[in-house]
Amino acid sequence: MGNGTVEMAHTASYYYVGKDPTFAMATAQPFGLNSRMQSAWMHFGGGIDSFNEFYKKYNFLALPAGNTGCQMGGWFRKEIKQPEDLNGLKFRIAGFAGRILQKLGTVPQQLAGGDIYPALEKGTIDAAEWVGPYDDEKLGFQKVAQFYYYPGWWEGGAMLHNFINLEKWQALPKNYQAIIRSASEQAHTWMQAKYDAGNPAALKRLVANGAQLRPFPQPVLEACYKAATDTYGEISAASAEFKKIHDSIMAFRGDQYLWWQVAEYGFDNFMIRQRARG
């Protein structure tokens, strides 16, 4: 895209983490922001401008255009009861999260979506993460790995973008630019709503067909959180660009959770308990 071979693309920035770990943060930050916080940071916390400044050297810009919401932690052939169970685990997970899990002995595997099922079935890999119930159901993972863990702490709100070659964008009339901005916003709203609407029914069907829901145990989450924090520190020490964006996100996260624990969490927690009572 930077050289103009492709003028525009809709994808996730974290696929290009191999070029620079900063790319990952535009999509999701392990133990970072949920989907609404991610949108708020992008639009009102300086996120869009910060990333487009970063993307300039690659000759493109990005507009938010979708979010899956919080993803699941994936499908496992065995239960995960303690951090030590991650040691030696061959886990289909890529990019930034894979780098963090390596600190706990996990062996990240990069496989295309169509290759995950046979790899799980044959035992070539021990676990795999994809997206969430709506997408996972289509691939039938519950038939070959019954333990379905949550949450996907590496993707609390995975954001996609429309990426546009910079020269092509600048050559567009202002009204065409406005159309693309509006279409990107519409895609963003539609995608989040689609996942929120589709996940509950898909989750029910998965459980009815053998999936066993499991939360990651607290010690596992805490070990992963520490590994993530250590990784952020290492990369920040080596990259000023990464540190600038990471520090902005973490400061924003602190204020957001101050607010969420007051009203959002209070309301959701009460309503979840009411549902449990029937």
User: What is the per-residue pLDDT for 93?
Assistant: 95
The verdict on residue 257 lying in a domain is: yes
The verdict on residue 43 lying in a domain is: yes
> Which segments in the chain show pLDDT lower than 70?
none
The verdict on residue 164 lying in a domain is: yes
The verdict on residue 26 lying in a domain is: yes
Q: Domain containing 22: what range?
A: 8-66+160-213+236-277
Burial code of 77-115, b = ≥16 C-beta within 10 A, e = fewer?
A: beebeebebbeebbbbbbbbbbbbbebbebbbbebeeee
The verdict on residue 203 lying in a domain is: yes
The verdict on residue 188 lying in a domain is: yes
User: What is the per-residue pLDDT for 278?
Assistant: 85
Within 13 Å of residue 104, how many CA atoms lie on the same side as its CB? 25
The verdict on residue 231 lying in a domain is: no
The verdict on residue 256 lying in a domain is: yes
Q: Domain containing 272 — which CATH number? A: 3.40.190.170
User: What is the per-residue pLDDT for 95?
Assistant: 84
- What's the number of domains the chain is made of? 1
